[in-house]
Amino acid sequence: MFVYTIRRKKLKWIILVLLAVLAVGLLWYFGSSKPASQSGGIVLRAGNAAERLAFISQFGWDVAEDPVQVSEILIPAEFDEVYQKYNEIQKKQDLDLTLYAGKRVKKWTYAVRNYPGYEGRADVIELNMLILDGVVIGGDVCSTELGGFMHGFDLPAESTSVLTPNP
């Protein structure tokens, strides 16, 4: 039989170190949905309606509480030219859809009520969020008009027109 004794002072240090490691691990796990270098201080959680609306409000958008549409899409395993261009929009907002190639994700679409120059025309501007496991992995703000535009989540300045035309 093997008996090992630990002095009380040594036991306190061991427990303290274990608690510190546990605290750091919990902060890392719950503190961000993505590495800090990619999330840019934006909370990406979107597992329920309140979290989705909170995500949207971080950018200054005013949307109806109920989505216009919820659908499931498959991110292709290999990106064609259209997906490559769409992923460039994602990369500008520190997201990257290539990490999710071949995965099924939920697409939540909301009508935007406060787009500069389109106030009161919620049927024209939409915000799309791509969500996997309760985390935003991509999305855009776009116009549904013929010859419309598409850009990332950031609210553009009213005098700015740096918009990407829809293909």
Residue 34 pLDDT > 60, yes or no? no
For residue 74, the 8-state DSSP code is: E
Residue 19 lies in a domain: no
Residue 51 lies in a domain: yes
Residue 21 lies in a domain: no
Number of domains in the chain: 1
- Determine how β-strand 149-151 pairs with β-strand 135-143: antiparallel
pLDDT value at position 33? Answer: 42
Check if the beta carbon of residue 153 is closer than 8 Å to that of residue 141.
Answer: yes
Residue 104 lies in a domain: yes
Closest CA to 32 of 23, 41, 22: 41
Q: Which domain holds residue 152?
A: 35-165
pLDDT value at position 42? Answer: 84
What is the per-residue pLDDT across 134-144, written as a single tens digit (0 to 9) for each?
999 999 999 99
What is the per-residue pLDDT across 88-127, written as a single tens digit (0 to 9) for each?
999 999 999 999 999 999 999 999 999 998 887 878 999 9
With H, G, I as helix, E, B as strand and everything else as coil, classify residue 7: coil
Residue 17 lies in a domain: no
Report how far residue 14's alpha carbon sits from residue 1's, in angstroms, rounded to the nearest whole number: 24
pLDDT value at position 29? Answer: 63
pLDDT value at position 100? Answer: 97
Which of 6-15, 62-71, 122-131 comes out lowest in average pLDDT? Answer: 6-15
pTM greater than 0.85 (yes/no): no
